[in-house]
Structure formats: C-alpha cells, structure tokens
Amino acid sequence: MNFNSPEYFFFLPITLVIYAMVFRREMLRDSWLLAISYFFYMSWNWKYASLILLSTVIDHYVGRAMHASNDPKHRKRLLILSMVSNLGLLAVFKYYNFFLEVGQVAAGPLGLDLAFLRHELLLPVGISFYTFQTMSYTLDIYRRELEPEPSFLKFSVFVSFFPQLVAGPIVRAADFLPQLRRTPEVTKERVHDGLRLVFQGLFKKIVVADLLAGLGVDAIFARPGDFSSIDLLFALYGYSFQIYCDFSGYSDIAIGTARIFGFELTKNFDRPYLAQNVREFWARWHISLSTWLRDYLYISLGGNRGTPRRTHFNLLMTMLLGGLWHGAAMNFVLWGAWHGLLLVFARGSTKFDTEAPAHVIVRRRLLTFHLVVVSWLLFRVTSMQNFLDYSSGLLRLSAGTQLSPMYYAVLGVGVVLHVIPQSTAAGWGHRWCALPAPVQAVVYAGCLLLFAGLSLGTPSFIYFQF
Amino acid sequence: MGLIRHFSILGAIALVLIVIEVPLELRAYSRGFQTFLFGWRGITPSTPVEGKEARSFGPSPSFPFWSEVVPEKLEAGETRYWITSASHAAETQLPLDLIFPVVLSDLCRERGQPCQVLSASAPGFTIPASAEQIETLASKYPPKVVIVYQMANDVIELARLVFSGASLETPPSKAEPGEKQALVSPRVLTHEFVDNMTAHQLLRTNLSNRVVAQRILHDELPEAARKVFITRLSHFIAVARKHGTEPVLCTFATSHRSDQIEQFPEAHRLKLFAFSRELSMPGWARTVDLLNAEIRVLAQTEDLRLIDVAEQISGRHELFRDFYHFTPEGHREVAMVLANALLGAP
C-alpha cells in the first residue's frame, strides 16, 4: 500500500473510525496504532515485518538495560549490540551485494569469481529509516540524553508508526514518545489541516513529480543519446523538481496523516532550492536525515572540534556515508562525495543570510541550485555509462526539443510551488481550513478525480527504495 | 465516539464521490457498458430479424465463447474452427451476430460447408492468455483449426515492460492492458473497485490519454520485445499442436498503414492512448509492420497456413472504428477473408 494508491483511501477512513472508538482507552489506542502500522507494512511484504519486530525487541531491551547500568563497559557492550544488530540488518539486506561487487573488482585479477555468494533477497522497504530511528534511541540513552520507554507497546508504536515508517521523516524518540504518553490532540481543525497536507502532498506527487517523470524525465534518462542538450538540461531540472515534489510530497502526507491521528512529526523540507549555499541546502533538504547525520555521525567523528583538516575529513566522511545510506551503489557514494566537497568549500558561509543585497542572494541561490542539480545527475543515473552518455550529451550543446509544452508547464508549477513564501502558504492553508467542511469535501473529491485522471499508474515514491 | 464527528469530512468526501458516480454508472449501463453498481446489461446477441428464431450466444458460465452456442459434439461432416483473439472478436459495442467469428460461421453455412466457429476471445486477452484457454477448453471442444488473430494487447504489455525497464520474462497475465501497478504489486480488491468506477474509466479515456499524448513516445517496439512476441506465438503454436489442432496464423490489420499514419484521426489516437502509453502512432504502425513480417516468416518456418488479413484490409479506414477494431462492414470483410482462405473462394 502506498499513500498514492487507492487502497490507502479505504484504509485511512476505516482505521480512523475504529481509532475514534478506542481513543479514550490508552492501551487499546496504542494497540490499534500498532496493529494498523504493521498491517500497513505487511501489505507490502508480511515476512519483512519480522525485521522491524526484531529491531524493536533488541533496542527496547538494550535501552532499558543500558539505562539501568552504571558500568561503562557494559553500557558500551549493549550499545555495540544495538549498532551491530541494526547495521547488520542493513548490511545483509541492503549492502551485501554491493560490497560483494566491490570485492569482486578486487578479486577479479586473482581469478576468483564471487558471484556464487550473491543473494537475491528483496530490499525491505523503509529499512534505512526505522533502523536509524531505533539507533538514535539507543544512542540518546547511551549519552544519557533520554530516558528509556518502559512500555514495550509504546516503544513498538514509536518504531513502526505507519505514516513515517517507510520513508520518514526520521522521528526522534525525544519528540515522539512524549506524544504517545499523553492523549493525542485530535480536533476538527487539526484533522482538516492534516487532510489539507495530505492533499498537498498528493498534488506534489501526482501532478508534479509523476507527470515530470512520465512526460519526459524517465524517457530522457533512459536514452540520453537520443536527445538534445536543451532536453537533457530541462530533464535534469525536471528531475530536481520531481525528486523534491516526490519526497516532500511524501513527507507532507506523512505529517498530515500523523496530524489527523493527533501526532506531530518533524518538518522535513523547507524550500531547499532557495538555499544560498550548500550548508543552507542541507538545513532545508531532508532535515530529519541531515540533523541525524550531524548529531550521530558528524559529532561522533569529532565534528568541528579538531583541526580544519580533521573537520574536512569528518564532513566528507559524513556525506559519503550519507550517500551510501541512500543506496548501495557507486553513484550514491559519488553523490555523497560531491556534497561533502561542496560542504567543505561552503564552511564558514552563513546559513539563512537575509542581510545580503537582493542581487547577491539571487546569484548565490542560482549557483547553489545548479551545484545541487549536478548532484542529482549523479543520483539519478543508472550506471556509469548512463552518466557519461548524459554528461557528453549536455556538453554537446545541441539545440531542439522533444519535450511537450505540458512538460514545461508542469515544471513551472513545481517552481511556483517551491518559491511561494511559507508565510503566504500558511495563510492560505489557514483560510482554506476555515471554509465550511462541505466546500472542502467537494474540492477534495474533485481533486481525487483529477489525480485519478492525471495519473499514469501509481509509481512508488522514489525514497521507498532507500 | 464524539471524535468521529471530527472525521466527518472524510464521510462528506465519500458522499460527494457517490453522488458523482451513481448517475455516471446509470448512464454507462444504459449505453451497454460494464458498470460497478449495476453490472452489465450483457451482449446484444443478435439483430432481431422478423420471422427468424432468436439465436443463442455466449459467453456464459456453461459456454465461455463469444459466439453462437453450439453442442460439444460435432455433427457428421461438421468442422470446428477456433478463433483466438481479443476485443477484435469479443465486441461489447455491437450485436454478436455482426462479429466476424459469427459471420464466418454464417458464411460456412451459406457455402454449404457445415461448421462451428468458437470465438475463444475476450477483451484484454494476450497470446499467453489464449494459450492458457486452449489448454483448459480444447479437450472439451476439440477444434480442427485454431486461427490466431492477436497482436495489440501483447504489444501494449511488452511495450510497457520494455520501456519501464522491467523484465520481459515477467509472467504475462490476463489483466487489462494499461495497468502498470499489476506488475509491481499484487492487485487487490480496492484497485479493482477504483478501476471499475465509471468516473475513473471516463477520466482514463478523456484525461489520462491526453496526458499520454504529451509524453515522449517511442517510434518502435524494441527488438527484444518483438522476439518475446514471436516466442509467445511459437509457444501458442506448440500448445495448439499438442492438442492435435492445426494452428493458422493471421497478420494483424489496422485502419492506417505506415504510409498513411499521418492522416490518423486525433480522436482515435487519443482513444488508443487510454491503453497504450509508450508507442507513438508511427511507432504503432512500424511495430505492426515489423511483427506482421515476422509472423509471415514464422508461418513459413513452421510450415503453417497464413491468412494475410493485413495485406487485404489494412489501410481501408472505412472498415475500422478506431486503429484496430472493426465496423460491422469490417467484420464482414474479415470474415470473408477468413472464409476464402479456409474454405476456398466461393
């Protein structure tokens, strides 16, 4: 089940009706949230729910045992147990074949064939998200920044809460567990606002992201040699807005759904292409991951406490691993390395600089945007040959276009969505939610029909593969 | 329970959708389409002729063919022809006695050569689905000759697979073409429900197709996919032979040939794009040409009879109601072509 698939629109109202029935009984409410979260996940693959359960059991036990112990060595052993089990899951299911391929490159000259060691296990959806979520829980307890959750039920809901289970935002225990301990705040206003976010996310996904992919991006990336430099450039711009609308659309739906159930999830995007430098970009893009990497990786490596050279190394290493987090392939490693280098060069620049003259801000934004666009090329290509074909096509500087006016129109919508000031958008949202419910219902029904009509299938969200 | 009031907007959305859907369902039902709420009025079995006894047609649970109901046992001297096709021979828009398998059986009788013609066809059928059907039903209704008139749905399915980067080895299904999600996740009841909503069908044929027309479309089905098409056909031939029947191949006819495709009407193009989302119109024409050429070669290699329907009627626009579905005149013409090939010229 995806947020953009028809079954979600049956799942959501049915689960909400029963949620309302059990709402006043804390244990039943938590049990219901857990049941629907596992159902949501198991509708994709029921077997892999056992991995979430395994991660939940280990980290719940480790968290409590670690908190109860004052022996630093014992605490460290417990932390290692948590890290090894979570990273072990990632290693087996996500990275095993990748490292095998790397090993094959090294073993090739020796005449060794490691192909027989390959496995064909399916990558569990959301594994990178929920393992990072549970690791942050044990790391926070290890650092004595968090009390463990005594209730296994509540901890299980924290790990598996369905709106953010498969593609984030990566929720911190310190933010979410307190919400589970009190009665969720479900009001008409919050339900309407949550629903608005759900439809906003669907609009971004179906009307912008999927159409950009279907109208041009996918075809052009599949055969870059058949297209002019202009088409290649606009496909790259298109992909930049496709991935933004796809992922931020998912986050909107996740945050909106959680809000309908009475919970708040962390903000994940803040108009990233308006960043004036790459540091600022990472403060606006996939915020829950970038802050996770900062707090648990960059700072653990020493952060900026050492020499400039050491700081540069820490930045590079953090972004390399951040790239690898996205996918077990060399292009993601290169994508991470590119961002690491950009961050090294951007060190010392100011985030959210509003003092500079307007033309300077525009120039910085354009430069940063294009540096990020280059990285999306690395992110999107399917092989090194694909990258070389695409790059050489871009540099050929050929004219002409096969893209339709509709493609450019959708790209324009993506740009407009991006540049609307947040205060303006918030004002519109507030006024919209104040409209009578029947008016909203008619518009939402029309939107559902429009989405069904514009849809070219129900493609998965890009970040599901991570 | 008071909390449910806060969620009432969801009920209101459902109510609006129902208010939109019900009249559309009624309208579609009255026009002879399959609907979710009211089902299907059924095929129009025959054109009423005064003084003539009404004929009985399938498909029904006891007789799964889209043709005149016949006994399992053949009369002495009677030949059974089995036509395997898709919506070309399983029309929902025309009375069944105007469809070419039924017209063919009438022509047989007219020419004094008693026969049964079974239309083992259904909308959306691909060649593998037809092979499955012959495996299931050939023992009950053993045919002498199996005539294969299939191409469009296989092309749509293979184009979808090859251009989405999916494996061409994916087991083909009987699913309607144009439903990409069937390849990545199992179809569930809710999908069926939404797909069958008349509002959704209307949007697919009036909005999605316009979006498809704006895509970068491909001008040829790649060779790898064409090879799979021929493999499917070869497999069908083997299955037919296993059941002791003679397979007869047909080339596939279209309203416009490659050299006429520029004149293909916009409305028909949009109609095709409701199902086909990968190939441009020149791409369709070229693919049909290439596959027809390969069918001719296959017939020679396998030493099979070939009925070159395309050679005789492709490009005669008046015989088609869209790119590859026939008008009543077209059905009659195809039946004539088949009859001449099977029975000899009158």
Same domain, A102 and A201: no
Same domain, A54 and A178: yes
Same domain, A225 and A177: no
Interface contact flag, B214 A5, Cβ < 8 Å:
no
B11 in contact with chain A, both atoms CB, cutoff 8 A: yes
The count of structural domains within chain A is 2
> Which chain A residue's Cα is nearest to B218?
A219
More confident residue, B55 or B1: B55
A326 is catalytic: yes
Judging contacts by C-beta atoms under 8 Å, the chain B residues touching residue A220 are 216
Per-residue pLDDT reduced to its tens digit, A424-440 = 988 999 999 999 999 99
Catalytic-labelled residue, pool A326, A359, A370, A430:
A326
**Which site among B180, B216, B217 would you substitute to test the A interface, given the most A Cβ atoms closer than 10 Å to its Cβ?**
B216
Same domain, A179 and A216: no
Q: What is the least distance, in Å, from the CA of B312 to any CA of chain A? A: 36
In a domain, A6, yes or no: no
Per-residue pLDDT reduced to its tens digit, B201-234 = 788 778 888 888 888 888 999 999 999 999 999 9
Residue B68 has pLDDT above 60, yes or no: yes
Residue A341 has pLDDT above 90, yes or no: yes
Same domain, A356 and A442: yes
- Select from A116, A151, A183 the last residue of a domain: A183
> Which chain A residue's Cα is nearest to B5?
A188
Distance CA A155, CA A60 (A): 7
* Model confidence band, residue A421 (pLDDT cutoffs 50, 70, 90): confident
Average pLDDT, chain B: 85
Q: What is the least distance, in Å, from the CA of A67 to any CA of chain B? A: 38
What is the span of the domain harbouring residue A123? Answer: 24-183
In a domain, A14, yes or no: no
* Model confidence band, residue B3 (pLDDT cutoffs 50, 70, 90): confident
In a domain, A158, yes or no: yes
* Model confidence band, residue B175 (pLDDT cutoffs 50, 70, 90): very low
> Which chain B residue's Cα is nearest to A459?
B181
Kindly list the strands in the beta sheet with B79-84, ordered across the sheet, starting from the edge strand earlier in the chain: B115-119, B79-84, B145-148, B246-250, B305-307
Contacts across the A-B interface (CB distance below 8 Å): 121
Same domain, A197 and A137: no
Residue A466 is predicted with a pLDDT of 61
Residue B331 is predicted with a pLDDT of 96
Distance CA A428, CA A435 (A): 11
Per-residue pLDDT reduced to its tens digit, A189-215 = 999 999 999 999 999 999 999 999 989
Residue B189 is predicted with a pLDDT of 65
In a domain, A19, yes or no: no
Residue B51 is predicted with a pLDDT of 54
Residue B134 is predicted with a pLDDT of 92
Per-residue pLDDT reduced to its tens digit, B252-268 = 999 999 999 999 998 89
CATH assignment of B55-343, among 3.40.1800.10, 3.40.50.460, 3.40.50.1110, 3.90.190.10: 3.40.50.1110
Judging contacts by C-beta atoms under 8 Å, the chain A residues touching residue B8 are 437
Same domain, A351 and A459: yes
Same domain, A243 and A273: yes
Average pLDDT over residues A300-313: 88
- Select from A183, A208, A236 the last residue of a domain: A183
Same domain, A125 and A229: no
Residue B334 has pLDDT above 50, yes or no: yes
Residue A60 is predicted with a pLDDT of 94
Residue B161 is predicted with a pLDDT of 86
Same domain, A336 and A237: yes
B194 in contact with chain A, both atoms CB, cutoff 8 A: yes
Predicted complex: ipTM over 0.85? no
Interface contact flag, A219 B1, Cβ < 8 Å:
no
Judging contacts by C-beta atoms under 8 Å, the chain A residues touching residue B216 are 215-216, 219-220, 402-404
**Which site among A230, A231, A442 would you substitute to test the B interface, given the most B Cβ atoms closer than 10 Å to its Cβ?**
A442
Return all residues near A360 (Cβ < 8 A) that are at least 6 apart.
none
**Which site among B10, B15, B157, B276 would you substitute to test the A interface, given the most A Cβ atoms closer than 10 Å to its Cβ?**
B10
Q: What is the least distance, in Å, from the CA of B296 to any CA of chain A? A: 31
Q: What is the least distance, in Å, from the CA of B160 to any CA of chain A? A: 11
Per-residue pLDDT reduced to its tens digit, A98-108 = 888 878 877 77
* Model confidence band, residue B186 (pLDDT cutoffs 50, 70, 90): very low
Average pLDDT, chain A: 90
% pLDDT > 90, chain A: 64
Residue A10 is predicted with a pLDDT of 87
More confident residue, B153 or A124: B153
Average pLDDT over residues A370-391: 92
Average pLDDT over residues B329-345: 93
* Model confidence band, residue B116 (pLDDT cutoffs 50, 70, 90): very high
- Select from A183, A216, A246 the last residue of a domain: A183
> Which chain A residue's Cα is nearest to B18?
A445
Residue B346 is predicted with a pLDDT of 67
Same domain, A422 and A290: yes
* Model confidence band, residue A355 (pLDDT cutoffs 50, 70, 90): confident
Same domain, A307 and A342: yes
Which among B11, B16, B206 has the least Cβ separation from residue A442? B16
Q: Where are the domains of chain B?
A: 55-343
B20 in contact with chain A, both atoms CB, cutoff 8 A: yes
